[in-house]
Amino acid sequence: MANGGDTKSSASTVPDAVVAVSVDDGKSGGQGKEIEKYADERIVKSSRDADEALKAFNQSDGEPIVLTAETNKRLLKIIDWHMMPLMCVVYGMNYLDKTTLSYASVMGLKEDINLVGDNYQWLGSMFYIGYLAWEWPTTQLLQRLPLAKYSAFCIVVWGLVLTCFAGVTNFAGSVAIRLFLGIFEAAVTPGFTLLTSQWYTKNEQSTRVNIWFSFNGWGQIFGGVVAYGIAVGARLHGTAIDPWKVVFLVTGLLTITLGVWFYWLIPDNQLNAKWLSKEDRVLAVERVRVNQQGIGNKHFKLYQLKEALLDPMTWAFVFYALASDIPNGGLTNFFNQLIVSFGYTQEQSLLYGTPAGAVEVVALLLNGFLGDYYGQRILVSSVGLLVAVLGMVLIVALPLTNNAGRLIGYYLTMAAPCPFVCILGMISSNVAGYTKKTTVAALYLIGYCVGNIIGPQTFRPEHAPRYLPAEITIIVCWGACLVDMYFIFWWYKRQNARKAEARAVEGYVKLENQEWLDLTDQENKELVYIV
**What structural domains and CATH numbers belong to the chain?**
84-281+304-495 (1.20.1250.20)
Region of residue 146 (phi > 0: left; psi between -120 and 50: alpha; otherwise: beta): beta
Residues 508 and 405: their CA atoms lie apart, in Å, by: 60
Q: At a CB cut-off of 8 Å and minimum separation 6, what does 333 contact?
A: 99, 101, 102, 120, 121, 124, 455, 456, 459
Please state, in angstroms and as integers, the Cα–Cα distance from residue 35 to each residue in 141, 162, 240, 486, 498, following that order. Answer: 39, 58, 76, 34, 16
Helices (H), 311-416: 312-341, 346-352, 354-374, 377-397, 403-413
Query: Would you mind telling me the total number of residues written for the chain in this entry?
Result: 531
CB-based contact 201:289 (threshold 8 Å):
no
188: part of which helix (H) or strand (E)?
Answer: helix 188-199
Question: How many angstroms separate the CA atoms of 176 and 165, rounded?
Answer: 9
Beta-carbon contacts of 489 under 8 Å, excluding residues fewer than 6 positions away, are 378, 379, 531
Beta bridge partner(s), residue 21 = 35
Quote the CA–CA distance of 48 and 297 in Å, as a whole number.
Answer: 10
Instruction: In whole angstroms, give the CA distance from residue 23 to residue 34.
Output: 6
Q: Are 106 and 346 in contact (CB under 8 A)?
A: yes
Q: Which residues pair with 22 in a beta bridge?
A: 34
Let me know: does 221 contact 353? Beta carbons within 8 Å: no
Q: Is 20 helix (H, G, I), strand (E, B) or coil?
A: coil
DSSP characters for 88-126? HHHHHHHHHHHHHHHHHHTTTHHHHTT--TTHHHHHHHH
Is 415 within 8 Å of 422 (Cβ atoms)? no
pLDDT per residue as tens, the chain (531 positions): 334 444 434 333 333 333 333 333 444 343 334 334 444 444 444 445 555 655 555 555 556 677 888 999 999 999 999 999 999 999 999 988 887 888 888 788 888 898 888 888 888 889 889 998 998 899 889 988 999 999 999 999 999 999 999 999 999 999 999 999 999 999 999 999 889 988 999 889 889 999 999 999 999 899 888 888 888 887 788 777 888 899 899 999 999 999 999 999 999 988 889 999 988 988 898 888 877 666 666 678 899 999 999 999 999 999 999 999 999 888 877 777 788 888 888 888 888 888 998 999 999 999 999 998 898 999 999 999 999 999 999 999 999 889 899 999 999 999 999 999 999 889 988 998 888 988 998 899 899 989 988 988 888 877 877 788 888 999 999 999 999 999 999 999 999 999 999 888 888 877 766 666 778 898 888 889 989
